[in-house]
Amino acid sequence: MRRLRNVKIVATLGPASEDYDTIRALHEAGADVFRLNMSHGSHDEIREKHRIIREVERDLDSPIAILADLQGPKLRVGTFAAGPVDLAEGATFRFDLDGAPGDGARVCLPHPEIFQALAPGATLLVNDGKIRLRVEACGADFADCTVIAGGEISDRKGVNVPDVLLPLAALSDKDRADLEFVCTLGIDWLALSFVQRAEDVEEARALADGRAALLAKIEKPSAVERFDEILVASDGIMVARGDLGVELPVQKVPPIQKRLIRKCRAAAKPVIVATQMLESMIESPMPTRAEVSDVAAAIYEGTDAIMLSAESAAGQYPVEAVQTMDKVAAEVESDTNYASIIAASRQTEGHSIADAMVAAAREIAETTDIKAICCFTQSGTTALLTARERPGVPIIAMTSLRGTARRLCLSWGCNCVMTAELERFKGAVVNAARAARAGGFATEEDQIVVTAGVPFNVPGTTNILRVAPCDERLIYNTDPG
């Protein structure tokens, strides 16, 4: 299904979007990737959503990526004997391992790993950062704190520890069970929460064993500090701005977002900008102007994808939220400034033959009357490198592997088309011409650029580029072999 924009849209499924009609409407409205949030829903409910997505994919003959988002370890306080407690600024408060219900002076924090890592001066945040405490003294089973920013604390509120590298694995027992379940089910991308270091991604990769591509969520300061090594270990990145905005001063998040997007693009790895993009559309059919500007800013920065969370999962207007993103993206990308902004941020890290081939394809397409770049890819690497170039013409990613087509649904500009396994380059050119015509990218009078690797069906062999006519008669008359 051809989109009239290059940036991709990720829509989270939930109670507001779990039946066939709504999921199909979301895809037709512009959702390229569906996110399954493993924090909510049983395995049976996840299995049913997966079944419906694949049914929509089959009915519309349109590849769809499924992203399973693991919950990660959740740090929460215990309970309070007499209900919520108001913590006043300047007051003292203790966290400990005592399982007894809390009061105005203390509460259980059932995570010994936190106490092992704390030091005086560390910060503890409660309830999405609404309450801020400074550690004054601590030990193996307690932390005595001063309340810096007060508020109401109640049962099982979440705790963040922003300035400490916690000795916690990114995968809890629940995550391990969920990972095996969704990989067996057949998902395309696996998002990892609570990533602090590259080893967290490598642990998940060993468990996934090639059954899904891995996307690291950047939601902790420690992940920002170690981003380069995390990027190397990952197949993609999610900039989870909500949690970053809790653990870091909010003014630091926009420049971090811009920096991470550029690094991902240079590495030819897809990046999603996520959290609260159209938050008001949970209850309103119209977004705020600030939200529209936020979405537009991410697109101008060159992100591969933008994501809806509660807007599509639990909101009153899930389809309208996708339509809004689609319209904003189309408008931004039609702006005459967009191409120059994207071109100015172009940078590469590789110097391989494949890097040179995709750069040449983009240069040829943008300086002559070429209608599309058709790249044949098995692993998806050639398409990712082509997407990194951000060409001014459509990218048609052609592959015989359904899994590759689905994974590329997350990558900027990739229009994924299934093709049979090919043995000869002439057959590839003919198939590319047919795909360009069938998708409305070109007519018989037009030309396209075709990139491929010889021998065929071998990953990492991109070594041939051809400017080809879309008229098959001319292909057969002029192409040898």
* Residues tagged active-site: 35, 76, 217, 275
Closest alpha carbon to 79 in 110, 108, 48: 108
Q: Are 190 and 179 in contact (CB under 8 A)?
A: yes
Instruction: State which H helix or E strand residue 95 sits in.
Output: strand 92-96
Distance (Å, rounded) from C-alpha 6 to C-alpha 302?
10
Closest alpha carbon to 314 in 10, 14, 12: 14
Distance (Å, rounded) from C-alpha 133 to C-alpha 144?
9
Distance (Å, rounded) from C-alpha 165 to C-alpha 414?
37
Q: Are 235 and 269 in contact (CB under 8 A)?
A: yes
Distance (Å, rounded) from C-alpha 65 to C-alpha 55?
13
Query: 394 in helix, strand or coil?
Result: coil
How many other β-carbons are positioned within 10 Å of the β-carbon of residue 21?
A: 10
Strand partners, 416: 397
Biggest CA-to-CA distance, the chain? 86
Distance (Å, rounded) from C-alpha 365 to C-alpha 386?
12
Distance, C-alpha 142 to centroid of its chain: 37
Q: Map tokens 């990139």 to a residue.
A: 451
| Neighbouring residues of 47: CB distance < 8 A, sequence distance ≥ 6 | 185
Share of the chain residues as helix, strand and coil, in percent rounded to the nearest 5: 40, 25, 35
Please give the radius of gyration of the chain, using alpha carbons only, rounded to the nearest integer. Answer: 24
Distance (Å, rounded) from C-alpha 355 to C-alpha 350?
6
Closest alpha carbon to 66 in 166, 213, 207, 181: 213
Q: Are 411 and 383 in contact (CB under 8 A)?
A: yes
